[in-house]
Amino acid sequence: MKPNFLLLAAALTFAVPVFAKPVIGQPAPDFSVTDAAGKTQSLSDYKGKVVVLEWNNPECPFVRKHYGAGNMQKQQSAAATEGVVWLTVNSGAKGKQGHLDAAAATAYIAEVDGKEAAYLIDTDGKAGHAYDAKTTPHMYVIDKNGTLRYMGGIDSIPSTEKADIEKATQYVSQALAELSAGKPVSVPTSEPYGCSVKYGS
């Protein structure tokens, strides 16, 4: 009986296009994206360094929660101090809410006093799709060997309210501290929360 169901399930599954998904403990997908300063940024440039990826849409209320309260900038600053490379990625397609060109991205970083190492403009969504980034924010932590160690939400309380930040567990900070101490990441995944990434159709 069972094998029949599985065969059917396998047949059904076959019809679905399969995208490689990022997997904890596996090599993180490489990418090549131009940043707001016009420089090409690739994950492979940062072998030997811990990298944080942050998906961003300046107009999303969940992003504004963390920037408005200074939580994101504080984590970016702390990461920089520790030699961690923080890359903010915007996968908003042209014409969609939150899409920025290089000049607008530079103005945005100045406005929010962003402390990221670079702001990547992924207009075609290639890097976003490679990481299966779904929400803004959506966070990833990659270790010195290029292995994915964390993916998910910025913290543990899905809301748009700034008051929740101090009550929440900050998963990215926690993962970075654990990696720095040579410990395993205690929470390697959490469900990301936020606005949907505004990919082009």
Partner 1 sequence: MTCSTNRSSRCRSRLQAVALASSAAVLAAPFAFAQAVQTDHVNAQLVGEHLALVPGQSMQVGLLLRHEPHWHTYWINPGDSGLPTTIEWNLPPGFKAQDIAWPVPKRFDVGGLYNFGYDDELLLPIAIDVPADAKPGTKAHLTATAKWLVCREECIPGKASLVLDLPIAAAPAKPDERWTTQFAKARLAQPQATAWKGDTQMTDDRIVITLRGVGLPPAEGLDVFAAQRKIFDNKPPQIGREGDALIVSAGKSEYFGTSPATLDLLMTAPSAAGVRGWRIRIPFADAAAPAP
- Binding residues (CB under 8 A) for partner 1: these are 2-10, 12-13, 15-16, 21-23, 59-62, 96-98, 132, 134-135, 151-152, 158-161, 189-201
Between residues 35 and 98, which has the closer beta carbon with respect to partner 1? 98
Between residues 127 and 197, which has the closer beta carbon with respect to partner 1? 197
Query: Residue 87, exposed/middle/buried by CB under 10 A (0-12, 13-18, 19+)?
Result: buried
Between residues 35 and 155, which has the closer beta carbon with respect to partner 1? 155
Between residues 149 and 198, which has the closer beta carbon with respect to partner 1? 198
CB of 87 to partner 1, least distance (A): 21
Please provide residue 169's backbone torsions phi and psi, each rounded to the nearest 5 degrees: -85, 125
CB of 10 to partner 1, least distance (A): 6
CB of 80 to partner 1, least distance (A): 28
Between residues 28 and 85, which has the closer beta carbon with respect to partner 1? 28
Burial 130-151 (b: 16+ CB within 10 A, else e): bbebbbbbbbbbbbeebebbbb
Tokens 């929400």 belong to 135
Report the length, in residues, of the chain.
Answer: 201
Residue 34's CB is within 10 A of a number of other CB atoms, namely 15
CB of 47 to partner 1, least distance (A): 25
DSSP state string for 128-163: HHHHT--EES-EEEE-TTSBEEEEE-SBS--SS-GG
Between residues 42 and 97, which has the closer beta carbon with respect to partner 1? 97
Give the separation between CA 4 and CA 13, rounded to whole angstroms: 14
CB of 6 to partner 1, least distance (A): 4
CB of 48 to partner 1, least distance (A): 27
